[in-house]
């Protein structure tokens, strides 16, 4: 995956991801397959495809529609469902916004409501663990205008899910058209700062040394670099 970074179009990696998509589709493999290994492979593939789509500005490849309502998911199910929601957010970002602005605004609101619904269902294991105060790391980005505090969440998979949630929210804030003015701009900038601080705070904590979480931290922090909002306004 990282070896393809030398080519601007990521064509080799994209060809791999598309091939995996067709293999899984032909075998009816999805994130809700009965076989645990098939589910794990599908989620690993989707996580990579979300990253590839985000980097190249294309829609995510998945056509899967979850059957299990979010309210019925276990904590593990919630930790993976956010990857699917992030894929839909990346797909929204890759969609041209010219034309029916009102329709795109509503579509964006639907995804934001989905993100809010996911957040509201989280059990306490997704909440930060209190740590000793006074441990701050100076931010290298003056746009954050504040010091960063490490955020501890255990287990690491739940910390990664929170990062993915904020990754998706950043994408929506930057790409949803708006008919608002200065107040809307300021609100979105506040959301960007909050999400960026959370993503980087989780990455600063020692839990980020957990190898399976390293890729997620890298992916989410890349989105966190975009701290200046690029908001579309409709006239």
Q: What tokens does 216 get?
A: 């997620």
| Residue written as token pair 């990455």 | 203
Distance of CA 101 to the CA centre of its chain: 24
Q: What is the pLDDT of residue 203?
A: 82
Q: Residue 150 has what pLDDT? A: 85
Closest-CA residue to 20 (of 2, 36, 54, 43): 43
Contact predicate 198/151, CB 8 Å: yes
pLDDT value at position 96? 81
Whether 225 contacts 167, CB under 8 Å = no
- The predicted pLDDT at position 52 comes to 86
pLDDT of residue 220: 60
pLDDT digits (tens, 9 = 90+) for 122-158: 999 999 988 766 555 444 444 443 567 888 898 888 9
Distance CA 144, CA 113 (A): 26
pLDDT of residue 125: 93
Q: CA of 130: how far to CAs of 1, 133, 149, 150, 202, in Å?
A: 35, 9, 11, 10, 13
- Which stretches of the chain drop beneath a pLDDT of 50? 137-145, 208, 227-235
Token pair in block for residue 8: 């601007």
User: How far is the CA of 48 from the CAs of 77, 109, 136, in angstroms?
Assistant: 18, 25, 32
pLDDT for 218: 61
pLDDT for position 140 = 47
Secondary structure class of 129 (helix, strand, coil): strand
Structure tokens at 90: 């990346």
Other C-beta atoms lying within 10 Å of the C-beta of residue 100: 11
Q: In b/e form, how buried is each residue of 61-98, taking b as 16+ CB within 10 angstroms?
A: bbebeeeeebeebebeebbbbbbbbbbbbbbbbbeebe
pLDDT of residue 207: 54
Beta strands in 112-224 (DSSP E): none
Residue 227 in contact with residue 166, Cβ under 8 Å?
no
Per-residue pLDDT, 7? 59
């Amino acid at each position: 995956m990282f070896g393809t970074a030398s080519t601007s179009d990521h064509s080799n990696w994209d060809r791999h991801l598309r091939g995996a998509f067709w293999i899984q589709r032909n075998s009816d493999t999805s994130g809700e397959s009965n076989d645990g290994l098939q589910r794990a492979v599908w989620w690993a593939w989707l996580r990579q495809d979300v990253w590839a789509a985000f980097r190249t500005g294309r829609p995510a490849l998945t056509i899967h529609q979850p059957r299990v309502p979010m309210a019925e998911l276990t904590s593990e199910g919630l930790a993976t469902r956010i990857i699917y929601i992030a894929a839909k957010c990346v797909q929204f970002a890759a969609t041209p916004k010219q034309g029916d602005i009102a329709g795109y605004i509503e579509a964006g609101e639907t995804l934001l409501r989905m993100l809010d619904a996911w957040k509201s269902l989280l059990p306490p294991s997704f909440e930060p663990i209190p740590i000793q105060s006074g441990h701050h790391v100076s931010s290298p980005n003056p746009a954050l205008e504040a010091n960063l505090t490490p955020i501890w969440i255990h287990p690491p998979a739940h910390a990664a899910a929170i990062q993915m949630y904020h990754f998706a929210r950043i994408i929506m804030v930057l790409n949803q058209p708006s008919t608002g003015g200065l107040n809307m701009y300021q609100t979105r900038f506040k959301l960007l700062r909050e999400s960026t601080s959370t993503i980087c705070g989780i990455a600063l904590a020692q839990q980020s040394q957990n190898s399976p979480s390293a890729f997620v931290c890298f992916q989410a922090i890349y989105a966190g670099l975009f701290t200046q909002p690029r908001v579309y306004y409709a006239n």
